[in-house]
Chain A
Amino acid sequence: MTVFARAVGAIFLKDMRAEWRSRELIGVMLLFALLSVLVFSFALELDRLARREAISGVLWVTVVFASVLGLNRSVAQERENGNVDALLLAPIPRAAIFFGKFLANWLFTAVIGALLLPLMTVLYNVTLASLPVLGLLLAGTWGICVTGTLLASMTLQTRVGEALLPIALLPIALPLLLGTVRATTGILTDAPVNDWGGWVGILLGIDLFYTVVCMAFYGVVVEE
């Protein structure tokens, strides 16, 4: 367990350091997310009531596409300089490599989402910046990044490459999206907890299931 934890920590810190020096991922993801939110506000022309119903969709679509951008870059960076081979040669469990990469991706995506909450609160005049929504954001991005990290490792080895990740990821992430969007809308419309609490349970269950499955399969995906 300590070997596992230390390996996860080391890979996570490596990604943090690389990002701190290049500021490549966060910059691209944040700019994309900002543009997406602005484009949505023009495209939907929402009135005050419609906003509360539709805003969680805007938030989640933006977060998912920003995460796809980040996941593709994050996994491609490892391949470009052959670092993934070095990681695989190291005497550490494959699941630890996966979990370290995943944690870094999750942190980036969650940071982008967390930055969007106050911004959208201001722009759309809907109280998104609240603890329950932040909790949902952490749970939703967890599942998206855990499947996304695995699928990006697969799709980047295909002929179509980066374009295949959204196609492979979106349908797999749909149960997560449906749960988070419904629960977020429930919170925003002040619906009783009974109406949307079930979705939170589904969300957490799927998170757990995907985490176990993806950690188990990463070794199969990267074997040579």
Chain B
Amino acid sequence: MTAASPSVAAASAPNHLGRLKALTAVTAVAFLLGLGMALAYAGTDAIQGNVQRLFYFHMGAFFGAFVAFACTVVGGVQYLRTRNVKWDTFALAGVEVGVVLSFINLATGSIWARPIWNTWWTWDPRLTSAAVMVLVYIAYLMVRSGIENRDTRHRFAAVYGILAFSSVVFTLVVIRIRPDTIHPAVIGTGAQDAQGGFAMNSSMTTTLLLNMAVWVFLLTPTLMWWRIRLQNYADRVTQRKIAYMEQG
């Protein structure tokens, strides 16, 4: 039962619901502001037209996912060092939020690619590695769910979560070093075969920066916080069940 005590402590600590609700409200307002700027304020791309507006969410979602998956690495390393369950919960929240954001990233990219590349999907190294990145983290959830012993589950999840980050790094790096990807790099120089890149004016840059900030600094932490809260309650229910069973 010693292994269980940290999670009980974490769950019964002051749960900051007021602060979480305030953060959620701020996130909602900022998200709507970002959406409004993407739809109305940012200039329309001269060649691509309105579909280019998806890009603000596409990039925001990717970097939100990046931050969430980086949290999984931090959670994994910290769990292995301290063996405190709260870090495992942190890592799990990172994976689940990151997977959702990666799906948003893939979906917006796909909708954009249909008019620009004339296809929903193409087997390009960048796209393939982004899709595999999602699968790695789904595999993470499957590895987790297959282990009954709590300590083993947390240890294996930490190790796999750290290994899995290689796919995120690979996705980020592949566009910079591979000349045969058609995915454009909007910031910095992209591949020579890139199709659908565009130059941004100041209203577009402002919109991009605001949306990036919202997705990375507000949306991702808010979602993760809710997920951690949920996990703490779930752990507490499990503890109550075990205590009840032991009483007979």
Contacts and interface: CB of A to CB of B under 8 A. Distances in A.
A binds B: yes
Interface of A: 147, 150-151, 154-155, 157-160, 164, 167-168, 171-172, 174-175, 178, 198, 202, 206, 209-210, 213-214, 217, 220-221, 223
Describe B's contact surface by its main secondary structure: helix
B148 A154 contact: no
B152 A157 contact: yes
Interface of B: 80, 125, 128-129, 132-133, 135-136, 139, 142-143, 146-148, 152, 155-156, 158-160, 162-164, 166-167, 170, 177-178
A213 B164 CA distance: 11
Nearest to B142: A167
Given A151-B160, A172-B166, 15 more contacts: A150-B163, A158-B147, A160-B146, A168-B139, A171-B135, A172-B136, A172-B163, A174-B128, A174-B170, A175-B166, A175-B170, A178-B128, A206-B166, A214-B163, A223-B155
A164 B143 contact: yes
Give 3 nearest A-B pairs by CB, closest first: A158-B146, A171-B136, A175-B170
Contacts of A154: 143, 156, 159-160
Contacts, number: 76
Given A157-B152, A164-B142, A202-B177, A174 B147 contact: no
B175 to A, nearest CB: 13
A182 B193 CA distance: 17
Contacts of A175: 129, 166-167, 170
A147 B142 contact: no
A220 B155 contact: yes
A159 B160 contact: no
Contacts of B155: 220-221, 223
A214 B79 CA distance: 17
A167 B139 contact: yes
A169 to B, nearest CB: 9
Contact of B160 (A168, A198, A202, A210): A168
Contacts of B178: 198
B167 A213 contact: no
Contacts of B139: 167-168, 171
B132 A171 contact: yes
A172 B17 CA distance: 38
A174 B129 contact: yes
Nearest to A175: B170
